[in-house]
């Protein structure tokens, strides 16, 4: 038998060590590739959480829900390069009574009560969809370039108060097969922050609000009491104070009862409000005494407003009682810049002059202009 025949009949022995080394080399290559992928993901996650931390920090420094929402819109767009960030809020929900004038119609849409759950958000915390395939009825005509969107429920599944939409022109940015852990965390942070801010705002409002009339109370004035009027209303702004006191209010209470007296106080505030701007502060000083502050108002105009209020009160009859008020007027010109306490004290003195002259009238007291 020749050497060639022997080689064919007896193959070369398998070198198991070599095969093991080849397998190890292949495993090492796969491991290096896996580690490189993990490191890349860690770097991506580190950048992701760094951006998330920046958003959370900005949110926590916001002073009210409106500022918080405005900050979120700005930060989410810039930190995550999004083509759409929009809130849909339930107009009857937690945030429904919160002013949001700083947000445009593009940034905020109010939806009807129950509409959020009707969309199925009571069954999911985060909804990822490709717009062109799935469609979404809340989209607007100018949203046409969007290819994918992440919808984050705000609030519990029992009582959602809103939805936050994050949109992209890239259809793979929010693909339905992606993990939603990060987005769920973001939704929870935003929900809790908004709920806390709204609750804090409401408690703060209750602390400075008169429960009967809905006006501010004396605590509302405390931060400004001894400050110049310019620190509140701006430099060079004239301010008028009207001080109201209902005539013979004790007698009305004695004759008609305290419930009738409460109704009259509420009616007085309603009449005052009907003649002034919504933002003009109206403060219940105690009992039947109220102060109205009119910034950027000249004395002649304020006297006309006071007279209209007097006329409306004269026309008001309650259970046969003729109702009237005495009004004191005080004026701080742009040159005077009195403190708030000084201006109110002047108006209070003028009110007592009106009382002394028989009531149902407007009086002012001329004060030292250099005060």
What does the DSSP 8-state code read for residue 361?
A: S
SS3 category, 208: coil
- What is the distance between the alpha carbons of residues 93 and 113, in angstroms, rounded to a whole number? 7
- What is the distance between the alpha carbons of residues 311 and 290, in angstroms, rounded to a whole number? 17
90 an active-site residue?
no
Q: Which residue has the tokens 């104070």?
A: 241
Question: What six digits make up the tokens of 259?
Answer: 């419930």
- The answer to whether the beta carbons of residues 94 and 161 sit under 8 Å apart is yes
Pick the catalytic residue: 90, 247, 288, 348?
288
Cα–Cα separations (whole angstroms), residue 108 to 75, 86, 116, 356: 16, 6, 14, 55
Please write down the HEC assignment for all residues of 111-152: ECCCHHHHCCCCCCCEEEEEHHHHCCCCCCHHHCCCCEEEEE
Nearest 5°: the CA angle 166, 169, 171 is 90
Say how many residues make up the chain: 371
- The answer to whether the beta carbons of residues 363 and 328 sit under 8 Å apart is yes
Count Cβ neighbours within 10 Å for each residue of 106-145 and write b for 16 or more, e otherwise: ebbbbbeeebbbebebeeebbbbbbbeeeebebbeeebee
Question: What six digits make up the tokens of 154?
Answer: 């705000």
Cβ count within 10 A of residue 249 = 18
Cβ count within 10 A of residue 76 = 21
Residues with a catalytic annotation lie at 288
């Amino acid at each position: 038998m020749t050497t060639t025949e022997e080689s064919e009949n007896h193959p070369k022995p398998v070198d198991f060590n070599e095969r093991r080394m080849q397998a190890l080399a292949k495993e090492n290559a796969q491991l290096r590739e896996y580690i490189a992928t993990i490191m890349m993901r860690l770097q991506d996650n580190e950048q992701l959480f760094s951006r998330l931390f920046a958003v959370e920090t900005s949110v926590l420094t916001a002073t009210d829900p409106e500022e918080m929402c405005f900050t979120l819109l700005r930060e989410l767009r810039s930190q995550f390069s999004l083509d759409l960030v929009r809130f849909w809020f339930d107009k009857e929900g937690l945030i429904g009574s919160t002013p949001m004038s700083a947000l445009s119609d593009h940034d905020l849409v109010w939806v009807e009560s129950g509409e959020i759950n009707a969309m199925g958000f009571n069954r999911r915390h985060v909804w990822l969809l490709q717009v062109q395939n799935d469609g979404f009825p809340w989209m607007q005509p100018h949203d046409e370039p969007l290819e994918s969107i992440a919808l984050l429920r705000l609030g519990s599944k029992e009582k959602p108060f809103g939805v936050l939409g994050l949109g992209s022109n890239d259809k793979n940015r929010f693909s339905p097969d992606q993990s939603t852990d990060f987005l769920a965390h973001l939704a929870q942070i935003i929900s809790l922050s908004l709920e806390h801010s709204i609750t804090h705002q409401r408690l703060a409002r209750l602390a400075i609000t008169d429960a009967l009339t809905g006006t501010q109370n004396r605590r509302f004035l405390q931060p400004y009491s001894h400050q110049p009027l310019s620190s509140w209303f701006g430099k060079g702004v004239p301010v008028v104070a009207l001080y109201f006191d209902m005539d013979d209010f004790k007698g009305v209470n004695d004759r008609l009862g305290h419930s009738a007296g409460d109704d009259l106080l509420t009616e007085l505030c309603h009449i005052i409000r009907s003649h002034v701007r919504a933002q003009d502060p109206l403060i219940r000083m105690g009992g039947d005494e109220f102060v109205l502050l009119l910034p950027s108002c000249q004395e002649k105009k304020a006297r006309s407003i006071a007279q209209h209020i007097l006329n409306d009160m004269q026309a008001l009859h309650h259970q046969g009682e003729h109702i009237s008020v005495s009004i004191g007027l005080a004026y701080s010109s742009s040159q005077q810049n009195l403190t708030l306490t000084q201006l109110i004290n002047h108006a209070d003195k003028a009110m007592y002059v009106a009382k002394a002259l028989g009531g149902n009238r407007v009086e002012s007291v001329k004060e030292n202009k250099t005060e």
